[in-house]
Each structure stands twice: as C-alpha cells, then as structure tokens.
Amino acid sequence: MKKWMLFGLMIFLLISCDSEEGLKEQTKIQSQEEIQAQNQNLIDWSDQLEKDLEKRRLFIGAVAGEFEGEITVKQFRFSIRVKVASTIPDYQTDRVRTLAELEYEIQNLALNIHVIQWNPDLNMSAVGCVIENIRPDFKKGILNIISESCSNSYSLFLANDEGAASTEEVGVNLADQIRSGEINYVHMLKGKFQSSNNAKVYEFTLNRI
C-alpha cells in the first residue's frame, strides 16, 4: 500500500512539474509577443512622425528665403522685405533616428522671420523686427506674424499670381502641392499688414528675390 502511495506521489510531482514548466513557457511566449507588439507600435509611431516631419520640411523649404515688395500706408509708399528661415537646418542621415530625436524636431521645427520696412528714398529710415518660432498653418499655407516684440502684425499667404482672386484658397492649393512634392518653393507671398496704432488693414505682395 505504501509503495502505491509513493508511486502516486511521484506521478503527481511529475505532472506538477510538467504543468509548471508549461506555464512558464506559456508566460515566456506571451511576454515575447507583448514586447514584439510594443516594438511594432514604436516603429509605426516613428514612421508616422517621419512622414509628418517630411511634409513640414517640404513646406518650410518652400517658403524659406527672402521676399520683397511695396506697401502703401496713408498714401506713403514703403519698401518691405521679409526673410524666412527654419529654426532647425535641414540635414540628411542614413541612420534611423530615435523616437526622442523625432519628437524633439516635431516640437521645435518652426520659422524665424525678419521683417523690415523703409522709405525707398531713405535707406536709413528702416525699421523692423525679428520674430522667432513662428508655427505656420501647414494646411492653409498661412504665416501669422504676431509678437510682443513687433509693434505691427502681418499675415502672409502662399501665392503664385498677382491677380489671385482668393488668397486663402490659393494658399490651401499651394500647400497641398508642396506636401505632395509637386512644387519645391513658392515665388510669391500675399500679405496683410496692420499697425498697432491703426485699425486699417493694408494689403501687399512680396516676390522672391
């Protein structure tokens, strides 16, 4: 009787060991699957950020540069020049960038803009301001320049025709073409200017120089 009890105990221990090993193996497989799923989610998120950054880079590259034109305020004619530059220089790399690098660039990629106005007959009359970290509307193609450091406010719209009837509509279409890679840069910006001491809004056109 004791022998049968001992034999039964041994069988029970063997079965328990097999069950425990099976549970460990199942847990290990489940953990590996969870890690793989997490890694795939990170890869998918990185790909999404890369695509988003590429579209933003295309837009910023299309508007970067210098533009110049004229604006008439209270029957006085002024020259106006706008310099647009990226806050983060464009660069190419063969390695896969980390998620932290991509998120940093998403958060900090913007425009630095220098606006200067002067009497064309008197160059020493120039006044201007520098506005940093301007985030354009990438879908509508609008650059709103509003800052405490600048007494005037400006809205710049992507344009391609002196006689464009709807600046906003043209800006949206051009922004779409930029994101799709159809055009590399814009030749013209339409602008609206408002002084801090005048409620009237003045319109102007800037051409790339």
Nearest to 42 by CA among 107, 98, 109: 98
How confident is the model over 133-163, as pLDDT tens digits? 999 999 999 999 988 888 889 999 998 775 5
Instruction: Determine the pLDDT at residue 6.
Output: 53
Bigger pLDDT: 23 or 187? 187
Q: What angle do CA 60, 144, 167 make, to 5 degrees?
A: 85
pLDDT at 178 over 90: yes
Q: Which of 10-14, 25-29, 107-111, 150-154 has the lowest mean pLDDT?
A: 10-14
Percent of the chain whose pLDDT exceeds 90: 42
The architecture in CATH of the region 57-208 reads Beta Barrel (2.40)
Instruction: Determine the pLDDT at residue 43.
Output: 76
Rounded distance between C-alpha atoms, residue 85 and residue 112, angstroms: 5
Buried b (16+ CB within 10 A) or exposed e, 147-164: eeebebbbbbbbbbeeeb
Which 8-state DSSP code applies to residue 183? -
List of residues 6+ apart from 149 with CB closer than 8 A: 129, 130, 131
Instruction: Determine the pLDDT at residue 171.
Output: 87
- Residue 78 tokens, joined: 């002024």
pTM (two decimals): 0.77
For the chain, what is the mean pLDDT?
A: 83
Rounded distance between C-alpha atoms, residue 109 and residue 133, angstroms: 8
Confidence label for 165 from pLDDT (cuts 50, 70 and 90):
low
Q: How large is the average pLDDT for residues 81-108? A: 86
